[in-house]
């Protein structure tokens, strides 16, 4: 076990209990302590700067330079943070410095300083990143291929991408599904200027990109998420579900029901890690809980204002949080499909303007929602329990995208 207490001062760990803490498992020795540590990675809106900050001791911070604006993803169980720079054709990786070793009845945590990987990926417009079933897949929207990384190897610092070819470059995704690879498929119709290549649906392939199944129609497919045995994606017709059945993939189109507002679609979806269900957007001012098995498949939640960002709570899996453009954070119970509580946490950020204007982003860190507030130069720490502000963390520049690594484990 290695612990490096370096950086901007001693890394303070939230050690529960005394120096020799006791866990409740069938162990024949005591542990040094139960440790909870969350580390924020905050990407700047204007530059390629990424700042790593320990939530509990924010003076412990590290700064990294990338090529351009980053979308940040915790991957490989949070051991690594991927920084996808779509406008700058690059993907950088950082060791989060926090990793876990699962022992079934508990997980050991090890903590070091975060570090930037020396190697990075480059390619034409990397965009969607899928982290599933031990694979990390990055789609290159203007390359006509995806690159597949092994999650465990990446956690060890090894970047050895395997290329998955697509018949035509498009804004899509590739994901593992059982023995197959699922890829979005684009039409071969000609487009002019900056027009998007039309997307037709989802299809199963082998690892070399040879089709092994028929195209499942999902017009303008966008927004993929996994939960339980299902992958779902948003389409113009509804939401497409895919699940492995032996060597095959079974699809079902869940059509938007007539009692939902019409002409609205789902294009951004998150999957629960606890219950087989999803939360997606439904138009700009609605969310929809998606149950892939039981009816009703869709339960809509109307928001008071347009949605800025939303996240699922892995600690209280019935809960989701959504920030709306009036600056309010809402806690949603996905089982009852109701807004349980709302509170103003930032100044208003209008959704008028460019989609990529600097607006808040949210992420979960244990029993806190961390909210970037670009105009204030802050990360706000909000209690999941009562939505009160627990504190703020100053971040240089214009804090924008945010990812969180960490959790609780045992140090022996």
Give me the residues that bind another protein (CB under 8 A), please: 1, 25-29, 103-105, 108, 227-229, 246, 272-277, 289, 291, 293-294, 315-318, 334-335, 412
Beta-carbon count within 10 A of 120 CB: 16
Alpha-carbon distance of 155 to 75, in angstroms, equals 9
Is residue 66 within 8 Å of 56, Cβ to Cβ?
no
Q: How far is the CB of 231 from another protein (least distance, A)?
A: 13
**Beta carbon nearer to another protein, 372 or 384:** 384
Q: How far is the CB of 307 from another protein (least distance, A)?
A: 21
Alpha-carbon distance of 55 to 33, in angstroms, equals 19
Q: Is 2 helix (H, G, I), strand (E, B) or coil?
A: coil
Q: How far is the CB of 277 from another protein (least distance, A)?
A: 5
Q: Which two tokens stand for residue 399?
A: 């804090």
Nearest to 251 by CA among 233, 265, 269: 233
**Beta carbon nearer to another protein, 59 or 101:** 101
Alpha-carbon distance of 304 to 285, in angstroms, equals 7
**Beta carbon nearer to another protein, 40 or 365:** 365
Query: What is residue 13's DSSP assignment?
Result: -
**Beta carbon nearer to another protein, 66 or 180:** 180
Is residue 370 within 8 Å of 360, Cβ to Cβ?
no
Q: How far is the CB of 271 from another protein (least distance, A)?
A: 11
Q: How far is the CB of 317 from another protein (least distance, A)?
A: 4
Q: How far is the CB of 260 from another protein (least distance, A)?
A: 17
Q: How far is the CB of 19 from another protein (least distance, A)?
A: 15
Q: How far is the CB of 188 from another protein (least distance, A)?
A: 37
**Beta carbon nearer to another protein, 35 or 83:** 35
CA dihedral of residues 63, 68, 71, 73 (deg, nearest 10): -50
**Beta carbon nearer to another protein, 9 or 257:** 257
**Beta carbon nearer to another protein, 103 or 168:** 103
Alpha-carbon distance of 152 to 52, in angstroms, equals 22
Q: Is 374 helix (H, G, I), strand (E, B) or coil?
A: helix
Alpha-carbon distance of 263 to 391, in angstroms, equals 41
Burial of 84 (0-12, 13-18, 19+ CB in 10 A): buried
Residue written as token pair 């090529």: 67
The set of residues, in sequence order, having a beta carbon less than 8 Å from that of 343 and lying 6+ positions away, is 328, 329, 382, 386, 387, 388
**Beta carbon nearer to another protein, 209 or 317:** 317
């Amino acid at each position: 076990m290695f612990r490096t207490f370096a950086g901007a001062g001693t890394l303070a760990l939230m050690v529960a209990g005394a120096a020799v803490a006791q866990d409740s498992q069938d162990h024949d020795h005591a542990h040094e302590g139960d440790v909870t540590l969350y580390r924020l990675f905050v990407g700047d809106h204007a530059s390629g700067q990424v700042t790593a900050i320990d939530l509990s001791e924010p003076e412990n911070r590290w700064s990294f330079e990338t090529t351009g604006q980053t979308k940040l993803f915790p991957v490989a169980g949070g051991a690594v943070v991927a920084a996808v720079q779509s406008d700058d054709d690059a993907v950088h990786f950082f060791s989060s410095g926090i990793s876990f070793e699962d022992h079934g009845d508990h997980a050991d945590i090890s903590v070091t300083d975060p570090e930037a990987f020396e190697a990075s990926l480059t390619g034409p417009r990397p965009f969607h990143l899928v982290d599933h079933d031990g694979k990390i897949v990055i789609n290159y929207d203007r390359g006509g291929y995806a690159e597949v990384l092994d999650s465990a190897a990446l956690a060890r610092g090894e970047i050895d991408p395997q290329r998955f070819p697509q018949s035509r470059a498009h804004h899509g995704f590739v994901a593992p599904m059982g023995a197959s690879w699922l890829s979005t498929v684009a039409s071969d119709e000609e487009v002019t200027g900056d027009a998007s290549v039309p997307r037709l649906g989802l299809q199963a392939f082998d690892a070399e990109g040879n089709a092994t199944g028929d195209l499942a129609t999902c017009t303008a497919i966008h927004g993929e998420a996994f939960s339980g045995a299902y992958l779902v994606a948003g389409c113009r017709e509804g939401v497409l579900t895919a699940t492995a059945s032996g060597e095959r993939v079974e699809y079902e189109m869940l059509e938007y029901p007539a009692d939902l507002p019409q002409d609205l679609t789902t294009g951004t979806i998150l999957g629960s890690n606890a219950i087989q269900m999803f939360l997606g957007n439904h138009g700009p001012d609605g969310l929809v809980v998606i149950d892939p098995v039981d009816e009703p498949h869709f339960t809509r939640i109307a928001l008071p204002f347009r949605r800025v960002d939303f996240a699922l709570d892995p600690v209280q899996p019935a809960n989701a949080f959504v920030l709306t453009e009036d600056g309010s954070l809402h806690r949603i119970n996905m089982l009852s499909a109701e807004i349980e509580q709302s509170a103003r946490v930032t100044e208003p950020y209008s959704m008028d303007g460019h989609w990529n204007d600097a607006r808040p982003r949210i992420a979960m860190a244990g029993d806190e929602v961390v909210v970037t507030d670009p105009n204030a130069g802050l990360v706000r720490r909000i209690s999941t329990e009562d939505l009160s502000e627990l504190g703020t963390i100053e971040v240089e520049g214009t804090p924008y995208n945010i990812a969180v690594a960490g959790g609780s484990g045992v140090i022996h």
